[in-house]
Chains A and B, each alone.
Chain A
């Protein structure tokens, strides 16, 4: 057990402090470069720098290098390279707004290292009913998974602290699931994601000092997807991510095409005079998770965040129940 505990502690410390210590100089650099956007949910012209993606990917790479030094597993390399490629996709989109198809295609290509390194198993495990063998079809699932997790985490980045806070809950529940299933090495890799998110949350929570940008959100999402694939916990990971999947589903169901949210003019929520979020009366505006949350009563940004975290916790509990259901076969 010691051979697992020491790498776990070191990689988590490295993950947390790399991000925690890197962000203050990154904020200064981004301020000098004038890479800031208006925080639209705040009174006045509050500007917040972005992207925080470079600090996030630095934390991920540093912690995964530590883990690779201990375990020398292709799965860890696959997680690291996939996360880095997703970061590049997001960084390009941060610097130059690309079309709606850029991120899905870019993220699909980011999944290639998982296939090239053979860091996957072609059996897809379901709770209660066992596994299904889909050797060639599973390759499609790998691409699909990274695209979905990357984009859904990006889509939940709707207010201060939500994307990073959501990822803390989702990745710790995924780690718990992996430990229950005795997949310890990948569970530790997932823990690193939780600690990276935790360190970023310190600066991302209300009032945000930095936004993750697409480079940060896509990196977190792609790493989560990569952990799910190499850890063979795809269904459990999807369950823990349900609130973000619901948000993406609502988006696609109301917009009915793949398009970047920045290309849409009608906003799903508006601000009251007290700077609370309320649902728009505009019938043409898309439906979103936040719009549903504030549909009956206007809420502050912090209150909206708390509701989303409660939904994330609920899904995390469902994910853990799903994990135990994996142990039983009907």
Chain B
């Protein structure tokens, strides 16, 4: 009866794992240099912007999945 809820939690978990993979493989290696002492700050700003972008994509995917998984429930 509550299978879609458990299924959705599982999908959230899978998205967390995929998000981690993207963070480590894409976000981690980014290194910008040439700005002297503010290199760490520039790196963090760039990583922060990418992280926010990824989070927005994560929420949008979650919203789509929510509509997909709970369509029948919403219409009940």
Binding site for B on A (CB under 8 A): 124, 126-137, 140, 235, 238-239, 242-243, 245-246, 249-250, 253, 279, 287, 289, 292-293, 295-297, 307, 310-311, 314-315, 318, 322, 325
Contact = CB atoms under 8 A, between A and B. Distances in A.
30 contacts: A124-B23, A126-B17, A126-B23, A126-B24, A127-B20, A128-B20, A128-B21, A132-B24, A132-B28, A134-B47, A135-B40, A136-B41, A136-B48, A235-B20, A242-B12, A245-B12, A249-B66, A279-B76, A287-B74, A292-B4, A295-B73, A296-B1, A296-B76, A311-B2, A314-B9, A315-B9, A318-B10, A318-B13, A322-B13, A322-B16
A132 B9 contact: no
Interface residues of B, number: 33
Interface of B: 1-2, 4-6, 8-10, 12-13, 16-17, 20-21, 23-25, 27-28, 40-41, 44, 47-48, 51, 59, 62-63, 66, 70, 73-74, 76
A293 B5 contact: yes
A133 B63 contact: no
Given A295-B74, A296-B1, A137 B28 contact: no
A127 B24 CA distance: 10
B2 A235 contact: no
Contacts of A315: 9, 13
B47 A292 contact: no
Given A135-B44, A137-B48, A311 B9 contact: yes
A3 B36 CA distance: 48
